[in-house]
Amino acid sequence: MSDYFRKVERSATFSPDKAAKADLFAGERLFVGLNCFEAGQTQKVHAHSAADKFYYVCSGRARLTVGEETREVGAGEIVWAPAGVPHGVEQALERTVLLVGIAPPPRQSAEGRPAVGVRREPDA
Amino acid sequence: MSDYFRKVERSATFSPDKAAKADLFAGERLFVGLNCFEAGQTQKVHAHSAADKFYYVCSGRARLTVGEETREVGAGEIVWAPAGVPHGVEQALERTVLLVGIAPPPRQSAEGRPAVGVRREPDA
């Protein structure tokens, strides 16, 4: 398989317990992955003090929060969460796949997997 | 309008002369924008020596090159172009919109617009 090409529909992964993640690419400066939600699943509001991030809605429908604003978004919408601004998924309204880009990439966990979305600011 | 939410279909812009670009978001560490192609339009192969980049195919169909590989891609496919690896759009096969993320953001041009895609490596 090529190191450079991926299909969202083949990479997406879901869990009945909680939102699931799929890592796609990680460079020195940028990480790209998927956040995958079944209807009703959430991602707590959090912030990255030193990383810019965006979500792109590949499929589905969800209520996303950035800063003081919460909006229902669907396929083809982009959500920007610059460094320091709290963001999260209040609730997926149906099965939803979000493409996520984070720069710089999250630090590697002990298992070598980027600790995406789990770094929390004390005041987030 | 919110600073954090955008719709691809509202932001995409096309030109009969050449591929067109729409800037969406630019932080200190990450730039997000659209590359928009009419059928037949191209983006020359180029490389960024110190920036990681990806394309996500929002709509359409095109032949993209990364490194030694050229593939036909469609909606829902992600193409990774890490720092130093030549990449470009050989040809759009129909009207195509690519979401692009670049980290760190391209330098600002004299007009204040990120000079996305125009920085060429001498050997690219």
Q: Do A56 and B51 touch (CB under 8 A)?
A: no
Asked if A28 contacts A103 with a C-beta cutoff of 8 angstroms, the reply is no
**Higher pLDDT pick, B124 / A98:** A98
> How many pairs of residues across A and B have Cβ atoms under 8 Å apart?
134
Geometric angle at alpha carbon A121, from A85 and A52, rounded to 5°: 40
Cα A51 to the center of its chain, rounded Å: 13
CA distance B73 to chain A (A): 9
Q: Long-range contacts: B8-12, Cβ < 8 Å, 24+?
A: B8/A76, B8/A77, B8/A78, B8/B34, B8/B58, B8/B59, B8/B97, B8/B99, B9/A76, B12/B36, B12/B97
pLDDT of residue A115: 47
Tell me the DSSP string of A8-35: HHHH----SSS-EEEEEEE-SS-EEEEE
Q: Supply the ipTM of this predicted assembly.
A: 0.86
Of B8, B25, B30, the CB nearest to A76: B8
Q: Which residue has the tokens 């993640």?
A: A21
Q: Kindly report the number of other CB atoms within 10 A of residue A59's CB atom.
A: 17
CA dist A70 to A87, A88, B28, B49, Å? Answer: 9, 9, 24, 38
* Reported confidence tier of residue A107, pLDDT bands at 50, 70, 90: confident
Query: Bridge-partner residues for B33, per DSSP?
Result: B23, B100
Query: Tens digit of pLDDT for each residue in A3-52?
Result: 899 999 999 999 999 999 999 999 999 999 999 999 999 999 999 999 99
pTM equals: 0.87
Q: Kindly report the number of other CB atoms within 10 A of residue A114's CB atom.
A: 17
pLDDT of residue B124: 33
Query: Tens digit of pLDDT for each residue in B28-59?
Result: 999 999 999 999 999 999 999 999 999 999 99
Of A8, A30, A80, the CB nearest to B4: A80
- The mean per-residue pLDDT over the stretch A97-110 comes to 86
Q: Is the pLDDT of residue A2 over 80?
A: no
Q: Is the pLDDT of residue B121 over 60?
A: no
Q: Is B98 on the interface with A (CB under 8 A)?
A: no
Widest pairwise Cα distance in chain B = 42
Query: Tens digit of pLDDT for each residue in B76-117?
Result: 999 999 999 999 999 999 999 999 999 999 986 444 444 444
Q: Is B8 on the interface with A (CB under 8 A)?
A: yes
CA distance A50 to chain B (A): 9
pLDDT of residue A38: 98
Query: Tens digit of pLDDT for each residue in B6-24?
Result: 999 999 999 999 999 999 9
Asked if B4 contacts A77 with a C-beta cutoff of 8 angstroms, the reply is no
pLDDT of residue B123: 37
40-69 of A, contacting B, C-beta below 8 A: 50-54, 56, 58, 66-67, 69
Asked if A10 contacts A17 with a C-beta cutoff of 8 angstroms, the reply is no
Q: Is A103 on the interface with B (CB under 8 A)?
A: yes
